[in-house]
Amino acid sequence: MADLADFEALVPQDHGLVVMTVIGPDGRIRPSVVNAGVIDHPITGARVAAVVIHGRARKLAHLRARPRAAVVLRAGWRWAGVEGPAEISGPDDPTEGIGPERLRLLLREIFTAAGGTHEDFDEYDRVMAAERRAAVLIAPDRVFG
């Protein structure tokens, strides 16, 4: 079995592009493509896979009801996946210990961990707030690849 470092090593090779799966209300798997990175959990310090999700995305509703997710990435013939419980922190999903300022910085941290760059982080922050973006942190119960 792989570990989170194996997943993290592949992130920069394809801009953190992953397939994220959540479970829909009918029990079916709901895949989508997002960017992911690996960060330290903002409260516990444990390493987690992390993504930023648009506030109106259906996957947030699915995660609220069934807080478990998987992300899988590949680079050439190498690949790795992370599966585990998911935590949401955002304007519509307040988390104790993560206020508005910490959330603003957390969204930036995830974006850059996934390989993102931006010329104007003030504009980035404005867009994230306007879109009610949320951080999704996936604790690695299982890492494979």
Over range 7-30, report the average pLDDT. 95
Residue pair 33/71 in contact by the 8 Å Cβ criterion:
no
Note the pLDDT of residue 1: 58
pLDDT digits (tens, 9 = 90+) for 72-81: 999 999 999 9
- Could you tell me what percent of the chain has a pLDDT over 90? 95
This prediction has a pTM of 0.95
Within 8 A by CB and 6+ apart from 79, the residues are 10, 72, 73, 145
Q: Report the pLDDT value the prediction gives residue 2, as an integer from 0 to 100.
A: 76
Contact 37, 52 (CB under 8 A): no
Q: Radius of gyration of the chain from Cα atoms?
A: 14
- H or E stretch covering 126: helix 121-130
Q: What angle do CA 105, 109, 115 make, to 5 degrees?
A: 145
* 40-72 pLDDT, tens digit each: 999 999 999 999 999 999 999 999 999 999 999
99, 142 contact by CB (below 8 A) = no
CA dihedral sign, ordered 95, 58, 5, 1? positive
For the chain, list the domains and their CATH numbers.
4-140 (2.30.110.10)
